[in-house]
Structure 1
Amino acid sequence: MAIPYGLGAGSIDAALNFYVAGHYSLRVMNFLHCFYGLGAVISPNIMAFALLKANWHAGYLWTAMLQSFILFICIISLPLWKVNKDADEDNEASESVGIISSLKVPGLVLTLIAFFSYCLGEATSFLWTSSYFAGTKSNVNLELVASFGFLTFGGLMLGRIIACLISHRLSDRKPIRIGLITEAIGILLVIIPTS
Structure 2
Amino acid sequence: MTTILLIIIYLAFISLGLPDSLLGAAWPIMQLDFGAPFETAGFLFMTIAGGTIISSLVSGKVLRRFGTGKVTCVSVLLTACALLGFQFAPSIAWLFVCAIPLGLGAGAIDTGLNDYVANNYKAHHMSWLHCFWGVGATLGPLIMAQFIMGEASWRSGYFIIFGLQFVLVVILLLTLPLWKKVKESNKNAVDEENDDSMGFVNDLDAKDIKPIKLRGVKLALVSFMFYCSVEASIGLWGSSFLVNVKGLHAATAAQWVSFYFAGITLGRFITGFITFKIANRTLIRVGQITALFGAIILFLPLPVIFSLLGFIIVGVGLAPIFPCMMHETPTRFGKKHSQTIMGYQVAIAYTGTTFMPPLLGFIASHTTIGILPTFILIFILVMLLSSEKLNKIILVRSNKPSSYLL
Look up the equivalent residue of 1:75 and give its one-letter code.
L
Aligned-residue offset at 1:16? 0.4
Looking at structure 2, the residues matched to 147 and 192 of structure 1 have their Cα atoms a distance apart, in angstroms, of: 22
Q: Partner letter of residue 260 of structure 2?
A: T
Whole-angstrom distance in 2 between the partners of 1:137 and 1:185 = 20
TM-score normalised by length of structure 1: 0.84
Per-residue CA deviations over 1:76-135 (Å, capped at 9, x if unaligned) read 33232122445899xxxxx7x99x912112211211121111111111011221001221
Deviation, 1:169, is 1.0
Stretches of structure 2 lacking an aligned partner (at least 5 in a row):
1-96, 188-204, 303-373, 375-406
Matched, 1:143 2:251: yes
Q: What is residue 277 of structure 2 aligned with on the other side?
A: 169
Is 2:153 the counterpart of 1:55?
Answer: yes
Shift of 1:63: 0.9
Map residues 67-146 of structure 1 onto 2, 5 A cutoff: 67-86=165-184, 101-138=210-247, 140-146=248-254
Q: Deviations over 1:113-159 (max 9, x none)?
A: 21111111111011221001221344x33222232331321121122
- The 1:105–1:84 alpha-carbon spacing in structure 2 relative to 1, beyond 3 Å, is farther
Distance in 1 (alpha carbons) for counterparts of 2:113 and 2:297: 35
Q: Give the equivalent residue in structure 2 for 1:92.
A: none
1:50 and 1:59 in contact (8 A); partners too: yes
Contact 1:122/1:152 (8 A) holds in 2: no
Give the drift of 1:23: 0.3
TM (norm. structure 2) is: 0.42
Q: Check whether the contact 1:48–1:147 (CA below 8 A) recurs between aligned residues.
A: yes
Give the 3 Å change call, closer, same or farther, for CA 118–27 of structure 1 in structure 2.
same
Cα distance, 1:187 vs. partner? 2.6
CA–CA distance in structure 1, aligned partners of residues 290 and 253 of structure 2? 26
Other structure's SS at 1:31 match: helix
Which residue does the alignment assign to 2:113?
A: 16
Q: Match for 1:126: what amino acid?
A: G
Q: Check conservation: 1:40, 1:150, Cα contact below 8 A.
A: yes
Structure 2 SS opposite 1:170: coil
Question: Aligned equivalents of 1:187 and 1:61: distance in 2?
Answer: 34
Q: Structure 2: how far apart are the matches of 1:118 and 1:137?
A: 25
User: Could you say if the C-alpha distance between residues 7 and 116 of structure 1 is closer, same or farther in structure 2, counting changes exceeding 3 Å?
Assistant: farther
Deviates further, 104-113 or 180-189: 180-189
1:33 aligns with 2:141: no
How far 1:178 moved relative to its partner? 1.7
Cα contact 1:127–1:149 (8 A) shared by 2: no
**Most deviating of 10-19 and 156-165:** 156-165
Deviates more, 1:14-23 or 1:175-184: 175-184
Q: Which is worse superposed, 111-120 or 68-77?
A: 68-77
The residue type equivalent to 1:83 in the other structure is: K
* Structure 1 SS opposite 2:275: helix
CA distance in 2, matches of 1:4, 1:126: 20
Question: What number of residue pairs does the alignment pair up?
Answer: 187
Query: Cα–Cα, structure 1 residues 65 and 29, in superposed 2: closer, same or farther, change >3 Å?
Result: same
Q: Report the Cα distance in structure 2 between the residues aligned to 1:20 and 1:189, rounded to whole angstroms.
A: 35
RMSD of aligned alpha carbons: 2.6
Q: Secondary structure at the match of 1:168?
A: coil
Question: In 1, distance between residues paired with 2:186 and 2:100?
Answer: 30
Describe the SS at the equivalent of 1:149. helix
Residues in 1 aligned to 2:120 and 2:296: alpha-carbon distance in whole angstroms: 38
**Change in 2 beyond 3 A, CA 1:184/1:85:** closer
Structure 1 alignment gaps of length 5 or more:
90-94
Instruction: Please give the alpha-carbon distance, in whole angstroms, between the structure 2 residues aligned to 1:6 and 1:154.
Output: 23
> Structure 2 vs 1, CA of residues 154 and 62 (structure 1 numbering), >3 Å: closer, same or farther?
same
SS at match of 1:106: coil
Contact 1:38 1:154 in 2 (8 A): yes
Residue-by-residue CA offset, 1:34-67 (whole Å, 9 max, x unaligned):
0100110000111111122311111111110011
How many percent of aligned residue pairs carry the same amino acid?
39
